[in-house]
């Protein structure tokens, strides 16, 4: 597209990556290329394409036109030079860390990173001689944790289930000054709220496309965006590991990203309304949502997200602990207990017995994960219906407790 950078977010999500046909015969829906293999004019042609000296495709594990369209859209929305897609968000994280480190290196990571990322760094990477230090997502804490062997810093822009907002600007400044790449997992915020590559020091953005980018709970995938050289290195390792995403998943992600802004705007607005409702309930002892003025990261979130919203996820604690958490989830009628987030249905989860069960009780409490904590992934239902569901569930819980 001409003058692409001057176009708005939704316009680029819809139009970037579309094939350019001079006769105007362009399909409205991006085409899907399911072929695993390709034919060539001859031996020389195959060799030129395989070596990258001539444009084309050789094998679906190396990429396809559908992958290329997805990469172009992701790069456009992240305002990056290049992008690459993977079979899952964890494949994106693992391949990126492996491409950027070697035995003897050290990583600094936010202790609130996605729970499986934490497990990867804490238990798997040490087998390959890569050490890690976990700390707060604050500039001062990150700076103190950096060692001479530190080769990258990894943070989540918004963590789950505490929903802290990382000091992306401050950490990026520290990393830029030290010459250390900063990798930001932006899955919860998405490029709709935040474009980390705007900050000098951030060299790579990672997303799980399974979540808001896909947006319909029907795919597993991941992506990275950054400089052409860094993405090339990561992509080459992905081809060796076989971690590139499937063609159908790439097509589903392209479809979902066209409505990313619409969904995020709706879900962020509903999440703020729900956070306010919960914050006013006597049964609730605390709400984790940066949109609330009393949240410790509220002012930071205002600066980072520029008024676009504060995310579509939150957490809250029930004062009576585990039994109330279980009873509340059972009392819900519209929202349901679920394993994911980022889709159009509202899901709740009890982190202490599911996603963060692998931590010790002390580790969970240090992360603010008590027995009464419930994580909420707000969907796209009518806000009034969802707020009524949560309010009624709290009323039923109170009534059952009073009657018992």
Q: What is the pLDDT along the chain (404 residues), one digit of tens a residue?
A: 556 778 999 999 998 987 665 556 778 888 899 999 999 999 999 999 888 889 999 888 889 999 999 999 999 999 999 999 999 999 999 999 999 999 999 999 998 899 899 999 999 999 999 999 999 999 999 999 999 999 999 999 999 898 999 999 999 999 999 999 999 999 999 999 999 999 999 999 999 999 999 999 999 999 999 999 999 999 999 999 999 999 999 999 999 999 999 999 999 999 999 999 999 999 999 999 999 999 999 999 999 999 999 999 999 999 888 899 999 999 999 999 999 999 999 999 999 888 887 777 787 877 788 889 999 999 999 999 999 999 999 999 877 544 33
136 CB-near residues (< 8 Å, 6+ apart): 110, 111, 142
**Residue ranges of the domains in the chain?**
4-257, 261-403
pLDDT for residue 402:
41
Answer yes or no: same fold for 4-257 and 261-403: no
Report which of 46, 134, 97, 340 is spatially closest to residue 241, judged by C-alpha positions: 97
Q: How far apart are CA 28 and CA 201, in angstroms?
A: 38
pLDDT for residue 28:
83
Q: How far apart are CA 152 and CA 185, in angstroms?
A: 13
Q: Please give the angle made by the CA atoms of 299, 165 and 215, to the nearest 5 degrees.
A: 120
- The CATH number of 261-403 is 3.90.1150.10
The dihedral over CA atoms of 358, 245, 10, 171, expressed in degrees to the nearest 10, equals 50
- The CATH number of 4-257 is 3.40.640.10
Q: How far apart are CA 162 and CA 296, in angstroms?
A: 11
pLDDT for residue 135:
95
């Amino acid at each position: 597209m001409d003058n692409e950078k001057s176009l708005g977010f939704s316009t680029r999500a819809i139009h970037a990556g579309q094939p350019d046909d001079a006769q105007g015969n362009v399909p409205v829906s991006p085409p899907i290329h399911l072929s695993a293999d390709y034919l060539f004019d001859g031996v020389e042609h195959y060799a030129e394409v395989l070596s990258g000296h001539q444009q084309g495709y050789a094998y679906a594990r190396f990429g396809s036109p559908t992958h290329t369209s997805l990469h172009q859209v992701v790069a456009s929305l992240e305002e990056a030079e290049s992008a690459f897609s993977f079979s899952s968000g964890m494949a994106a994280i693992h391949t990126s860390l492996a491409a950027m480190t070697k035995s003897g290196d050290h990583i600094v990571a936010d202790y609130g990173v996605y729970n499986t990322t934490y497990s990867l760094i804490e238990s798997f990477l040490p087998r390959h001689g890569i050490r890690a230090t976990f700390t707060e997502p604050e500039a001062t804490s990150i700076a103190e944790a950096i060692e001479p062997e530190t080769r990258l810093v990894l943070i989540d822009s918004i963590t789950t289930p505490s929903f802290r907002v990382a000091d992306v600007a401050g950490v990026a400044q520290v990393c830029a000054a030290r010459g250390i790449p900063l990798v930001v997992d932006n899955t919860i915020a998405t490029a709709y709220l935040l474009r980390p590559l705007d900050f000098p020091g951030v060299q790579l953005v990672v997303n799980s496309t399974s979540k808001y980018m896909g947006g319909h709970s029907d795919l597993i995938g991941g992506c990275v965006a950054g400089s052409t050289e860094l993405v090339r290195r990561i992509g080459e390792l992905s081809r060796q590991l076989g971690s590139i995403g499937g063609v159908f998943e790439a097509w589903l992600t392209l479809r979902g990203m066209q409505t990313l802004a619409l969904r995020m705007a709706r879900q962020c607005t509903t999440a703020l309304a729900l956070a306010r409702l919960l914050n006013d309930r006597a049964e609730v002892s605390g709400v984790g949502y940066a949109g609330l003025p009393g949240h410790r990261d509220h002012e930071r979130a205002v600066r980072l997200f520029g008024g676009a919203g504060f995310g579509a996820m939150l957490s809250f604690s029930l004062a009576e602990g585990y039994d109330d958490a279980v009873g509340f989830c059972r009392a819900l009628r519209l929202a349901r207990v679920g394993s994911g987030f980022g889709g159009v249905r509202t899901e709740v989860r009890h982190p202490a017995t599911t996603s963060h069960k692998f931590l010790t009780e002390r580790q969970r409490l240090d992360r603010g994960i008590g027995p009464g904590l419930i994580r909420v992934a707000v969907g796209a239902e009518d806000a009034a219906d969802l707020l009524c569901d949560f309010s009624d569930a709290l009323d039923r819980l109170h009534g059952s407790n009073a009657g018992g």
